Each structure stands twice: as C-alpha cells, then as structure tokens.
Structure 1
Amino acid sequence: MSFWVDTLRSARKTALLQDGRRKVHYTFPDGNELAEEYDVKTNDLIVRKWRKKTTLGGPTKWDMEIGEDQNYASNLVMGAEHMVESMSNPVLCRRDTKKAFQWRIRNLPYSLETFSVKVEDKDTIVVRTSNKKYFKKIDVPDMQRAKIPLNQSDLTFAHANNTLIIQYKKPKQILDDHETIVREIEQLKVSKDGDVDCKQS
C-alpha cells in the first residue's frame, strides 16, 4: 500500500452523488481538507483541490490541483471589466486522461518550434519559449507524493488552437493507486444532495 493511499484511508471522509459526479471530501488530522470529484461512469478524476489551515488555524481559499477554477471562468464569461486584460494572458489548467497527466496552457499563439518543455531537477516540468515571452514551472504533486522522479522520455507536448498541450505518462504505481482509491470510495455511503473552483499563470 502506498503512502498516498494510506493517507487517504486515515482521513475522515464524506461523499455525495451530484450532477453525474461522485464528490468526496477528506479532512485530515492536521485540519487540512481535500475535495475530489470523479465521473460516475468512467471513474476519471475531474477535480482535486486543497484547503489548508493558516498558521492561526483559519481556513485558506481552495487551491486547485486538477480542474478549472469556476470563479475565474465565470468572470471571463461575464466579461467583467477587471478581467478583460486577463482574457489574453496564458492560463494553465490540468485535466488528466486515464493514462497521462495533462496540462493545457491557453493563449499561447506561438508555433510548436518556439516551445521547450523539459524535466528539470527530476521533479519539475519547465516550459520555455525561444522568444522569451513565456516561462513556467509545473509541479506534479502525484509524483512528488509517491517519490517517483520524472523521466523526460515520458513527456510529450503538442500545440493547437493557441493552446500548448503537455502530457506525462502515468507510471504503474499511480495507476494502481487510482484503482485502489476508486474501489474504496465506491464503498462509501453517499448522499444525493449537498455540495462538497485552471489557474492563471
């Protein structure tokens, strides 16, 4: 059993089914919280977000690990004046597939040859452009928690519609952990109502 699976098992959990998603809320002994949302049909993980305690013991805002900040997306749709400038800024969002971690960086209108996407320090993906218009470090918390170093050969990227798409092949341990966690949350008693937010870079 991996450290991550053991950590989730030790947390207090509540679950509910809503809008075709299985939503699971974890509370850990240190007071930190984790919320995840799984597609009921495919068991794909759609959302993972964290809320940690401050040094004074109060809660912070939710921090997205997987999924898109709905508050940010709503502001763009509304066309709020204070968000107009942000509409053209690069926006990073993680949306995994079954076999790969995947990140999409929107609003990057450069050709594929402009980008360099490399593993650095064995635990970080670094995106650079030859025109020096964009630079971003991307952490992979799943791999860090499992203490598995990143491998350049498992990293691929493509570009289409002003979006850079980065994929990293999930190792077997990550896939096995996912299956174990899904089996366990499927056994949780769930309610059918209630409510358990890509990050601008």
Structure 2
Amino acid sequence: MAVQSWTDMLKASKKTALIHDGKRKIHYLFKDGKEMAEEYDLETDELIVRKWRQKSTLGGQGQWQVEVGEQLASPVASSGSDVIKENCSNPVLTRKDTKTSFQWRIRNLPYPKDVFGVLVEASERCIVIKTSNKKYYKKFSIPDLDRSQLPLDCSAVSFTHANNTLIVSYKKPKEILTLEQELLQELKKLKGTAEGDIDCKTQ
C-alpha cells in the first residue's frame, strides 16, 4: 500500500478556520486523530505558529508541542522557592520562518560569529550547530522536509549572529514553496468565523 503523501493528508484533514486579532487561525484534524493548529498573519500571510497534539496513551488530550513560534511558558504552580525553573540565561531555540526560509533563532549565545559551525548531516536528516569553544552543541531536524520526504541540501543553509542571537536559515526548496502556496489558497477559501460566532455544536 502506498504511503499517503503529506499533501494528501493535508487535503483530507478536517479544517476549521477562525479570524481573530489580525490572525487567521486554522485547526486541522487528521484521520489518525492527530491535531495541528496554525496561525497566519492576515496582512503578510506569514506563518506565526504551528503546533501539534496527539492523544496520550490513555486516550486523553496530550500537550501541544510547538513546531514554529514561541513556546509559551507553562504557568508556575506555586511561587515558592522549591519550583525548578529554567535558567533565563540558557540558550533558547525558537523557530520563526520567513516566506522563503525556515529560520531558527538561538538567544543567549554571546560568542563571536567565527566560533560557530552550522552544517547539514544529510544521513541523519538534521542540522548541527557547534562551537569551536565547545560551549554549545545542538542538533535538530526540519519536520517540513521529513513530512514531504525531501532531501537536505548543504548549500541551503546560512547563518548570522547579532545581539547574542544566532540566526540559522534554510532556504525552502521549490516543492515546499509550491505546497505552501497551494495550501494558503485553500485556507483562504475556508469560511473563517470571527471569534464570538463559533458554532458550538459537538460533532
């Protein structure tokens, strides 16, 4: 049996749209029960947020996992000193794409640009960031390329460093640009309800 392509899965998913706060919010429900939520800027059509959720092993709702955009800080249960919090000076990786590139920002990296090495590990399907002073090492995949089963291209990667932030860009291949364009056209056809007039019937 042929594996269903990502494009087909997107087309077959149940989509609902909501226009709110200058954003087009889309919720996808896939046949396997997974959910994806996206937010697009209404003016620029840029993707601001993409997150995923799947049922937990016990069948309850799992936690949302952010793929694109800022991970919201989880509310602290108590203000006591016994709460373990992440050190705010630790490097923080977030993904914020542009129209033409996948882009990752790693804050709190105060080293000069020439310390950084950013390379593609094609066999492991990931990007590796390492520093010559051995202070930072990070490996991450590009889910968009994995879903569309596209190879990673060494020449598509570039990076800059400013204000203690490393910005890694990966030029989107034409297949991704085409898919995103087609998807956006389809999403714009969805009748997005404005917040406040959502039909609350259960399916």
Shorter-chain TM-score bucket reads 0.7 to 0.9
More helix by share: 1
- Whether the 8 Å contact between 2:24 and 2:42 is mirrored in structure 1 is yes
- Choose from 152, 155, 158 the match for 1:153: 155
Structure 1 CA distance for aligned equivalents of residues 177 and 80 of structure 2: 41
User: Shift of the alpha carbon at 1:3?
Assistant: 2.4
How has the CA–CA distance of structure 1 residues 140 and 17 changed in structure 2, closer, same or farther, with 3 Å as cutoff? same
* TM-score when normalising by structure 2: 0.87
Give identity over the alignment, percent: 52
Structure 1 CA distance for aligned equivalents of residues 80 and 36 of structure 2: 30
Output one character per residue of 1:85-120: Cα deviation in whole Å (capped at 9) or x when no partner. 521000000000111000000000011111111001
Structure 2 counterpart of 1:135: 137
Structure 2 CA distance for aligned equivalents of residues 85 and 156 of structure 1: 29
Structure 2 counterpart of 1:169: 171
- What are the within-5 Å matches in structure 2 for residues 182-197 of structure 1? 182-193=184-195
CA RMSD between the two structures: 2.0
Structure 1 counterpart of 2:89: 88
User: Shift of the alpha carbon at 1:24?
Assistant: 0.4
**Partner of 2:37: helix, strand, or coil?**
strand
- Choose from 51, 54, 63 the match for 1:52: 54
User: Shift of the alpha carbon at 1:67?
Assistant: 0.3
Structure 2 counterpart of 1:98: 99
Structure 2 CA distance for aligned equivalents of residues 173 and 147 of structure 1: 11
User: Shift of the alpha carbon at 1:4?
Assistant: 2.2
**Partner of 2:70: helix, strand, or coil?**
coil
- Rg comparison, structure with higher value: 2
Supply the AA of the counterpart residue of 1:70. Answer: L
Structure 2 unmatched runs, 5+: 197-203
Structure 1 CA distance for aligned equivalents of residues 21 and 5 of structure 2: 31
User: Shift of the alpha carbon at 1:80?
Assistant: 9.4
Supply the AA of the counterpart residue of 1:86. Answer: N
How has the CA–CA distance of structure 1 residues 140 and 80 changed in structure 2, closer, same or farther, with 3 Å as cutoff? farther
- Choose from 119, 126, 142 the match for 1:124: 126
Supply the AA of the counterpart residue of 1:173. Answer: E
Structure 2 counterpart of 1:68: 70
* 4+ long deviations beyond 4 Å: 79-85
User: Shift of the alpha carbon at 1:46?
Assistant: 0.9
